[in-house]
Amino acid sequence: MRRDAAYRTVLGATAMLAVACSTTPARSPTPAQTRGDEAVADRVYLALNADPTYFYRHVDVKVDSGVADLSGYVWSTDAIYRAWQIAREVPGVTRVVTNHLDLEREGLTNGRPR
């Protein structure tokens, strides 16, 4: 009886290990996908810099499979929200990430001197 339980335990662990190792590795983007993401990033950057209200010269844009990641710094929470709005309206953008945008006020970043 003990031998059967031990055998089933080993068999179950082996099956779980086989399933865990059978996942396909992440594929590298093709050159065409990379060029497409770069083109979308350029359009987002141009749209941000065309905004008449906020200054986005310190915002970097990276796009990966349609996900626009905005990083850098702005001077107000309204500017963060507006950057998100602008980016999501650009054709080719499926999602916008703004949690890499820092808020800077009067030379301070989140209360810390620069």
Model-wide pTM > 0.75: no
Domain ranges in the chain are: 30-113
Question: Could you say which DSSP state residue 42 is in?
Answer: H
Distance (Å, whole) CA 77 – CA 52: 16
CATH architecture group of domain 30-113? 2-Layer Sandwich (3.30)
Position 106 confidence tier, pLDDT thresholds 50, 70, 90: low
Question: Could you say which DSSP state residue 100 is in?
Answer: E
Phi-psi region of 110 (alpha: psi -120 to 50; beta: other; left: phi over 0): left
Label residue 62 exposed, middle or buried (CB < 10 Å: 0-12, 13-18, 19+): middle
Q: In the chain, pLDDT over 90 holds for what percent of residues?
A: 61
Tens digit of each residue's pLDDT (9 = 90 or more) over 33-74: 999 999 999 999 999 999 999 989 999 999 999 999 999 999
Distance (Å, whole) CA 28 – CA 104: 35
For 48, the 3-state DSSP assignment is: helix
| pLDDT at residue 101, rounded to an integer | 94
